[in-house]
Structure 1
Amino acid sequence: MIIMVRKMISMMVSLGLILTVLSACASNSGNNAEPSQSASNTPSESATPEGTNAGTGNPADLKADLTWFGLMGPEQFEERYNQYIKQKFPNINITYINQTDEQKLEQIIASGTQIDMFLSSAGELREDYVPANMALDLTPLLEKHDVDISTIEPAYLEPVKIDGNVNLLPITDNKFVMYYNKGIFDRFGVKYPWDGMTWDEALELSKQITRNEGGKQYIGLWMSPKHYLRVAQNSAGFIDPETNKATVYNDQWKFIFDNIFYNFTRDPGLQKRAGEEWLAHKDFNKEFLVGMYVYTSGWMQSADTSLAMDWDIAAVPTFKDMPEVNTQPYATYVGISALSKNQDAAMQVLKFLISEEYQTIISKKGMITPLTTQSVRDAAFADYPFASEKNIGALFYGKPAPSRVLTRFDELVIENALDQDAVRQIAMGKLDVNTALRNAEELANKLIQEQLAQN
């Protein structure tokens, strides 16, 4: 009897050991545990830390704490992103850090805070996140989590490739359109703008409107110069990345300045007004002095307060030698930090943000999708009463221009040398295009050298 009991105990112990081993194998298989990320800024097979579950197919089972960083305000982040992420992934907790003058990226990193995901533009990727060693080649994670990026318009991916590798994914775009005030066109009996109109044709419409009447200086067409410079349709760059020298005194930029900033500002009354008070948004949407205005689609999200009562849009005019070529992408991107220990969970969230499910939701709310999926595009501004009355199709006219070569000094050239100086000197009739661009290049190079010296 004693011998039989001993045998039974021995069998039970052996069975328990076998079950323990099987359980451990199953646990390792489910968590997909692998070595941590190397220093090459590419993700490991899994960067999932202890206590984080990123391996299940059910979004409700995914558990993680993710810290985001970006320029967007907290309320806007909650409205555009976090409320939908929480609905999809109820067990993911997101802490959002809003960049301010007192709370910059370098200070957050120095504090030891781990950033898992970040909002970025294509330019900020090179200006901020590459120097901070946070840029991550997403390719391995995209493959691991079976993320389909084929429905993303390729023009959005090119500007965020480094050495051929995609480092960010586009979530929304601020499309450029040409707003126009029907009341002004009706007042002067001028034909409304249309999709596919060339800049030469826009100039003819502008000439029919630009005049001084009853003490009011009407202006046919204007824009936010610095915004258009960033997305010019000929994809001209600002800096030679090999030498860090400005490249604006050349035929590419002369073409843009001749055809837009010079041609549209030859009226003496307009030049006088530009010298007395520089042209601004309010001249279109508050004072109602400008007939056509090139700007981003953001105004449409607050049309009741941002636009004249009788407004509509057309596609940005094209150059006759570049038919159907629209402006370059002006997108908001999301990246995953190379320093994050939660890369698997972060990629699941990013996969959701580029899904048709999420993109349809935000498309209805007036955020322009980077997807080519027609049903998502058709949903644009569907939550707005004006959607059926306005030319919403203008948002997707033609094809985006290829992105220019981006460098970390671009904004110095755009803001200080071109927008604040060259454009204004031309519009006020003080300088010709050649002189203005030559001066701009000299100023830009001086500013670049000063910044390099500080670093």
Structure 2
Amino acid sequence: MASPEQFEERYGQHIKQKFPNINITYINQTDEQKLEQVIASGTQIDMYLSSAGELREDYVPANLALDLTALIEKHAVDISAIEPAYLEPVKIDGKVNLLPLSDNKFVMYYNKGIFDRFGVEYPKDGMTWDEALELSKKITRNEGGKQYIGLWMSPKHYLRVAQNSAGFVDPETNKATVNNDQWKFIFENVFYDFTRDPGVQKRATEDWLAHVDFNRDFIIGMYIYTSGWMQDAESSLAMDWDIAAVPTFKDMPGVNTQPNATYAGISALSKNQDAAMEVLKYLISEEYQTIMSKKGMITPLTTQSVRDVAFSDYPFASEKNIDALYYGKPAPSRVLTQFDEIVIEDAFDKDAVRQIAMGNLDVNTALRRAEENANKLIQEQLSQK
């Protein structure tokens, strides 16, 4: 979550200005100070920042999650301008437990210098994965001992938001559900297709691909990652960067990645729930969302005037394809469980994706192995409870 400095910049200063009578104390979760320890210390938590996944992993087990329906009604909070895709993943038994504050949208960054060097046309919004693969092939080559790669991404980040909304674990049985056609579709069309080049496989084997290959060493033409890099573009990106929307699947035109939002909730144990709801009402208002949109926080509102000022505090806003941030519609959220990260981090990111990219495993074998590995790890975690 946010560091104390980030919290103050994004939320604290604005809340204090709007509500001078409300005292805000931010507790940052660290390895030394986790949620359980904060609760055990007797500290009263009134509000909390969370992702949709953390709601189930941390706040539901700690009995802090609160159905906001009654408070939304009592305080006349208008949630009609919130893109519905952001509310679905934080519903439990049909009740909304969190409200979205911002999204860290996925985009496809590209390095114009590499495209110009090889005389390749720039990527465009609305490209299919097949078209992106063709562009990638035009870039991928070994020149002067330097291996250029057309397209890559942060696998674990993309896996969380894949456009076909494939889930990782059955919430009823706590069994991994990845050895199936949905994940086969993603692995075949993304990770397998983009790593058939022997040069890419050699590089993946010798030195696993990372952010720095795009934003420091400049050997990757296109890279799928979150909009967070844009907030720190001077140090995070090449001088001649731009963005396009994440490629879409041809059977799902206009379907973007799933929400990747930061939410706020109100603690079920709070004695200040009404005051907390007034703060939360402000944080989803057009007034606050407009301020933050200018600063590069991607709004969950469908309000066009708020979207139109995205990144306008940055000098590059008029020169870059900011519209890519709002291309199409967010994919529906997958079914979320408290064990998803075991599958994403351990079974997929550290094993299946790498073995495929290195040319060591075919997709069917990789998925079968991933499911077996994930189930062992889930059982180990369950046996410790």
TM-score by length of 2: 1.00
* Aligned-pair CA distance for 1:265: 0.3
Give the corresponding residue for 2:340. 410
Give 1:206's match in structure 2, choosing from 136, 154, 157: 136
What is the correspondence of 1:143-182 to structure 2 with a 5 Å cutoff? 143-182=73-112
Give 1:347's match in structure 2, choosing from 277, 292, 295: 277
Give the alignment's Cα RMSD to 1 decimal. 0.4
> Which amino acid counterpart does residue 232 of structure 1 have in structure 2?
A
Q: Partner of 1:98: helix, strand, or coil? A: coil
Give the corresponding residue for 1:191. 121
* Aligned-pair CA distance for 1:211: 0.3
Q: Deviations over 1:153-202 (max 9, x none)?
A: 00000000001000000000000000000000001111100000000000
Query: 2:213 aligned with 1:275, yes or no?
Result: no
Q: Deviations over 1:334-384 (max 9, x none)?
A: 000000000000000000000000000000000000000000000100000
Structure 1 CA distance, aligned partners of 2:16 and 2:237?
33
Give 2:377's match in structure 1, choosing from 447, 452, 455: 447
Q: Partner of 2:265: helix, strand, or coil? A: strand
Q: Partner of 1:218: helix, strand, or coil? A: strand
Structure 2 CA distance, aligned partners of 1:311 and 1:155?
29
Q: Partner of 1:234: helix, strand, or coil? A: coil
* Aligned-pair CA distance for 1:387: 0.3
Query: 2:290 aligned with 1:360, yes or no?
Result: yes
> Which amino acid counterpart does residue 419 of structure 1 have in structure 2?
D
Structure 2 CA distance, aligned partners of 1:104 and 1:221?
37
Structure 2 CA distance, aligned partners of 1:186 and 1:348?
51
Q: Partner of 1:425: helix, strand, or coil? A: helix
Give the corresponding residue for 1:398. 328
Give the corresponding residue for 2:366. 436
* Aligned-pair CA distance for 1:72: 1.7
Q: Partner of 2:208: helix, strand, or coil? A: coil
* Aligned-pair CA distance for 1:444: 0.1
Where do 5+ consecutive residues of structure 2 fail to align?
A: none
Give 1:293's match in structure 2, choosing from 211, 220, 223: 223
Give the corresponding residue for 1:371. 301
Query: 2:322 aligned with 1:389, yes or no?
Result: no
Structure 1 CA distance, aligned partners of 2:232 and 2:35?
30
Structure 2 CA distance, aligned partners of 1:408 and 1:99?
18
Query: 2:151 aligned with 1:221, yes or no?
Result: yes
Structure 1 CA distance, aligned partners of 2:5 and 2:244?
31
> Which amino acid counterpart does residue 423 of structure 1 have in structure 2?
V
Structure 2 CA distance, aligned partners of 1:351 and 1:153?
16
* Aligned-pair CA distance for 1:107: 0.8
> Which amino acid counterpart does residue 219 of structure 1 have in structure 2?
I
Query: 2:34 aligned with 1:104, yes or no?
Result: yes
Structure 1 CA distance, aligned partners of 2:274 and 2:27?
21
What is the correspondence of 1:10-25 to structure 2 with a 5 Å cutoff? none
> Which amino acid counterpart does residue 387 of structure 1 have in structure 2?
A
> Which amino acid counterpart does residue 418 of structure 1 have in structure 2?
F
Structure 1 CA distance, aligned partners of 2:298 and 2:219?
28
Query: 2:13 aligned with 1:83, yes or no?
Result: yes
Identity %: 86
Structure 2 CA distance, aligned partners of 1:129 and 1:280?
32
Structure 1 CA distance, aligned partners of 2:282 and 2:371?
43
Structure 2 CA distance, aligned partners of 1:260 and 1:426?
11
Q: Which one has a bigger Cα radius of gyration? A: 1
Query: 2:258 aligned with 1:328, yes or no?
Result: yes
Q: Partner of 2:235: helix, strand, or coil? A: helix
> Which amino acid counterpart does residue 281 of structure 2 have in structure 1?
K
Structure 2 CA distance, aligned partners of 1:265 and 1:162?
39
Structure 2 CA distance, aligned partners of 1:379 and 1:354?
16
Structure 2 CA distance, aligned partners of 1:163 and 1:189?
53
What is the correspondence of 1:222-241 to structure 2 with a 5 Å cutoff? 222-241=152-171
Structure 2 CA distance, aligned partners of 1:180 and 1:110?
47
Give the corresponding residue for 1:284. 214
Query: 2:29 aligned with 1:118, yes or no?
Result: no
Q: Partner of 2:23: helix, strand, or coil? A: strand
* Aligned-pair CA distance for 1:73: 1.0
Q: Deviations over 1:98-150 (max 9, x none)?
A: 00111111111111111000000000000000001111000100000000000
* Aligned-pair CA distance for 1:207: 0.3
* Aligned-pair CA distance for 1:417: 0.3
Q: Partner of 1:172: helix, strand, or coil? A: strand
Q: Partner of 1:400: helix, strand, or coil? A: coil
> Which amino acid counterpart does residue 197 of structure 1 have in structure 2?
M
* Aligned-pair CA distance for 1:309: 0.5
What is the correspondence of 1:294-313 to structure 2 with a 5 Å cutoff? 294-313=224-243
Q: Partner of 1:405: helix, strand, or coil? A: coil
> Which structure has the higher relative contact order (CA within 8 Å, separation 6+)?
2
Q: Partner of 2:107: helix, strand, or coil? A: strand
* Aligned-pair CA distance for 1:203: 0.2
Structure 2 CA distance, aligned partners of 1:152 and 1:95?
27
Query: 2:30 aligned with 1:73, yes or no?
Result: no
Structure 2 CA distance, aligned partners of 1:373 and 1:180?
28
Structure 1 CA distance, aligned partners of 2:30 and 2:17?
28
Structure 2 CA distance, aligned partners of 1:204 and 1:110?
55
Q: Partner of 2:268: helix, strand, or coil? A: coil
Give 1:266's match in structure 2, choosing from 183, 191, 196: 196
Structure 1 CA distance, aligned partners of 2:211 and 2:34?
29
Structure 2 CA distance, aligned partners of 1:343 and 1:94?
14
* Aligned-pair CA distance for 1:421: 0.2
Q: Deviations over 1:42-93 (max 9, x none)?
A: xxxxxxxxxxxxxxxxxxxxxxxxxxxxx32111100100000011011110
